[in-house]
Amino acid sequence: MRTSDIKRLVKYYIKKFNTRNPFELANCLNVEVQLGPLGSRAGCYMFLKNHKCVFLNEDLEEHELNLVMAHELAHSILHRKENCYFIRNKTLLLSSTNEIEANIFAAELLIPDSLIYENPGMTKKQIARLAGYDEKIMDFKSFK
């Protein structure tokens, strides 16, 4: 899926449900979310018996939790019937199409365009920090 199509899809969900919060969107989309011990995995999405389920590592900090949730929510929308795993400190570096698409979705959801336009002198790193995320997320953010 093209970046512009993912951006359009994210805008659609934000407008339809009036939120950028990935947990609220998951609730609206009937995606079950569970927190628990996942070891080195930050999270995973699974399609189980016709149910969309996201599992998140209970040890994640809040900003990490939102990023992983947004990423896994993307899989539930873009790759509905595939099982996907978010490996801590690795998934933002992976190059598979599904992972790139999920990262683009997460970046578009979590970093509003307005944040960039309202802070024209800031670097990508500063924008990411202002939003509360690692600068790598900006590699997936589309803005013109």
pLDDT beyond 90 at 107: yes
Across residues 10-23, what is the average pLDDT?
98
At 112 the pLDDT is 95
The arrangement of secondary structure in 3-111, i.e. its CATH architecture, is Orthogonal Bundle (1.10)
Q: How confident is the model at residue 60 (pLDDT cuts 50, 70, 90)?
A: very high
* Domain spans in the chain, listed from the N-terminal domain onward: 3-111
DSSP string, 88-130: TTTGGG---HHHHHHHHHHHHHHS-HHHHHT-TT--HHHHHHH
> What is the pLDDT, as a whole number, of residue 143?
74
Mean pLDDT across the stretch 22-39? 96
pTM of the predicted model, to two decimals? 0.88
Give the mean pLDDT of the chain. 89
Question: Average of pLDDT values for 52-64?
Answer: 92
User: Vertex 40, ends 34 and 41: CA angle to 5°?
Assistant: 40
Mean local confidence (pLDDT), 131-142: 91
Query: Which of the four pLDDT bands, split at 50, 70 and 90, describes residue 33?
Result: very high
